Amino acid sequence: ETGVTQTPRHLVMGMTNKKSLKCEQHLGHNAMYWYKQSAKKPLELMFVYNFKEQTENNSVPSRFSPECPNSSHLFLHLHTLQPEDSALYLCASSQVPRKLDYGYTFGSGTRLTVV
């Protein structure tokens, strides 16, 4: 059982819909991330939150809107998506700073299909 929980596991939405992805971490970490994984491409970092503050936004279109109400919860609000946005969306958390580098813990992801 992962310490990072994502819901829903699967989502099919139309291009005019609004939906939200939810992520919750139970590890006491202070940093959370959204990644996008498309077929044949490396994981793409979308957003980074340290201590609830957004520290990075990697040129993500405004149809993706993150929200981090506290250090344990992270949302990704979606609206007017395009079919090319269909992908696996992964949430991750980590502890920063850290003496020994343990990398990320990932959630199981939301597989999104835009129709």
Partner 1 sequence: RKEVEQDPGPFNVPEGATVAFNCTYSNSASQSFFWYRQDCRKEPKLLMSVYSSGNEDGRFTAQLNRASQYISLLIRDSKLSDSATYLCVVRYTGNQFYFGTGTSLTVIP
Out of 15, 27, 96, 115, the only residue in the binding site for partner 1 (CB under 8 A) is 96
113 forms part of the interface with partner 1 (CB under 8 A): no
- Contact between 41 and partner 1 by CB under 8 A: the answer reads yes
Answer for the pair 110, 10: CB distance below 8 angstroms, yes or no: yes
> Which element (helix H / strand E) includes 56?
strand 53-57
- Measured from the CB atom, the residue of 72 and 94 that comes closer to partner 1 is 94
> Which C-beta is closer to partner 1: that of 16 or that of 103?
103
- Give buried/exposed letters for 10-38 (b at 16+ CB in 10 A, else e): ebebeeeeebebbbbbeeebbbbbbbbee
Interface contacts to partner 1, rule CB under 8 A: 2, 31, 33, 40-43, 45, 48, 50, 55-56, 90, 94, 96, 100-109, 111
